């Protein structure tokens, strides 16, 4: 059966700094910015993230990424629903980083994650019509004096005929990402953010 998804990797050259501020102001793209929160190892703080309040599938993804057992942590996320006449789709992103001061210095460390995710999609006969764009970007964690790269996975489901079908495609997309990213093990203990609960 042919794949319904498209999975690709890109590089973004614009440097960003973390933490970034935000109190809910609306950006040019229509999304609100609530700023960065360090929630690694403290899933109680997830309930304070406005972007997740009405997105249980996105909340589950963020929760599993930030458990103490993973070697990554989340930086930001968003989701949106779109309607064009009688067609519907979802889009959004999840941004994350390896939780290692030295390991994030080399952007190439993200490639195996991308490649192995593609293999997981094939192994699971994943046929949801969605685009995954893994975008690697230089970043500095100012409070930690650490510079390296983060990875944002932009997600765009294709237009479908019903709201329910669009929701199911979105939930399946986030579910397989949670399955995958929730199993990225700790390989380096020079943590950027503490993993203690």
- 103-143 per-position pLDDT tens digit: 999 999 999 999 999 999 999 999 999 999 999 999 999 99
Which stretch of DSSP H or E encloses residue 132? strand 130-141
- Split at pLDDT 50, 70, 90, the class of 30 is low
Do 157 and 92 touch, CB atoms closer than 8 A?
no
Do 91 and 157 touch, CB atoms closer than 8 A?
yes
Do 128 and 56 touch, CB atoms closer than 8 A?
no
Alpha carbon of residue 77 to chain centroid:
6
Residues 182/183/186/192 CA torsion (nearest 10 deg): -20
Share of the chain above pLDDT 70, in %: 89
Instruction: Please give the residue that has the higher pLDDT: either 52 or 29.
Output: 52
At 43 the pLDDT is 74
- In angstroms, the CA 127 to CA 159 distance is 14
Per-residue pLDDT tens digits for 47-61: 888 878 889 999 999
**CB burial class (10 A; 0-12, 13-18, 19+) of residue 148?**
buried
Do 149 and 138 touch, CB atoms closer than 8 A?
yes
pTM for this structure? 0.91
- In angstroms, the CA 176 to CA 91 distance is 15
At 194 the pLDDT is 85
């Amino acid at each position: 059966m042919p794949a319904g998804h498209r999975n690709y990797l890109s590089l973004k050259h614009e440097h960003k700094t973390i933490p970034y501020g935000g109190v809910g102001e609306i950006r040019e793209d229509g999304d609100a910015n609530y700023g960065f929160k360090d929630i690694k190892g403290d899933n109680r703080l997830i309930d304070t993230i406005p972007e997740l309040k009405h997105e249980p599938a996105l909340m589950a993804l963020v929760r599993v990424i930030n458990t103490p057992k993973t070697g990554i942590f989340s930086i930001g996320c968003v989701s949106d629903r779109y309607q064009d006449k009688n067609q519907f789709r979802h889009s959004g992103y999840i941004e994350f980083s390896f939780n290692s001061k030295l390991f994030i210095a080399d952007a190439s460390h993200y490639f195996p994650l991308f490649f192995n995710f593609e293999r997981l999609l094939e192994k699971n006969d994943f046929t949801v019509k969605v685009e995954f764009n893994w975008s690697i970007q230089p970043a500095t964690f100012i409070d930690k004096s650490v510079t390296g790269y983060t990875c944002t996975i932009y997600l765009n489901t294709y237009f479908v005929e019903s709201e329910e079908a669009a929701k199911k495609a979105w939930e399946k997309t986030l579910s397989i990402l949670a399955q995958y990213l929730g199993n990225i093990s700790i390989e380096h203990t020079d943590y950027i953010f503490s993993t203690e609960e």
